[in-house]
């Protein structure tokens, strides 16, 4: 039997929500859609999330919690889970990064890393 591999990939799409944002109040609303795909050889459950959210002033907020959007998805090899959530920044540009704590069927716990991604009001990029 081959050794189990633990490989959970994360893809991110972001959007700026103009209708809910209020630049006069330093309120910039973003959504992010996450796709988590188990590319490993063993099934695993997402246990928790850890986010580091930074605005362009360097203000950082750290978020930890159980599961994602009220769920703890169980992913067999080649299965995926997709969800959308959001965050509010004081600046029109910022970034997020983090990880998901996973537990494989063999009891091994590991992190699925979310590489840094940008949050930006498109009007600020031109």
Tell whether the model's pLDDT for residue 1 goes beyond 60: no
Average pLDDT of the segment spanning 24-45: 98
Confidence (pLDDT) at 3: 79
Average pLDDT of the segment spanning 85-99: 97
Average pLDDT of the segment spanning 44-64: 97
**Rounded to the nearest 10 degrees, how much is the dihedral formed by the CA atoms of 71, 30, 117, 14?**
80
Q: How confident is the model at residue 124 (pLDDT cuts 50, 70, 90)?
A: confident
Q: How confident is the model at residue 126 (pLDDT cuts 50, 70, 90)?
A: low
Token pair 């769920």 is found at 71
Q: Is the pTM of this model over 0.85?
A: yes
28: burial class by Cβ within 10 Å (0-12, 13-18, 19+)?
A: buried
Average pLDDT of the segment spanning 69-93: 97
Domains of the chain: 8-116 (2.60.40.1470)
Average pLDDT of the segment spanning 7-23: 97
Please check whether residue 30 is in contact with residue 119, taking contact to mean a CB–CB distance below 8 angstroms. yes
């Amino acid at each position: 039997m081959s050794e189990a591999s633990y490989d959970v990939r994360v893809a991110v799409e972001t959007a700026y929500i103009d209708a809910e944002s209020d630049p006069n109040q330093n309120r910039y609303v973003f959504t992010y859609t996450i796709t988590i795909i188990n590319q490993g050889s063993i099934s695993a459950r997402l246990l928790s999330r850890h986010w580091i959210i930074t605005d362009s002033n360097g203000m950082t907020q750290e978020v930890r919690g159980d599961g994602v959007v009220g769920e703890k998805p169980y992913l067999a090899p080649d299965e995926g889970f997709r969800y959308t959530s959001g965050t509010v920044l004081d600046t029109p540009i910022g970034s997020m990064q983090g990880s998901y704590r996973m537990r494989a069927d063999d009891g091994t716990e590991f992190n699925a890393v979310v590489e840094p991604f940008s949050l930006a009001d498109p009007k600020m990029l031109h």
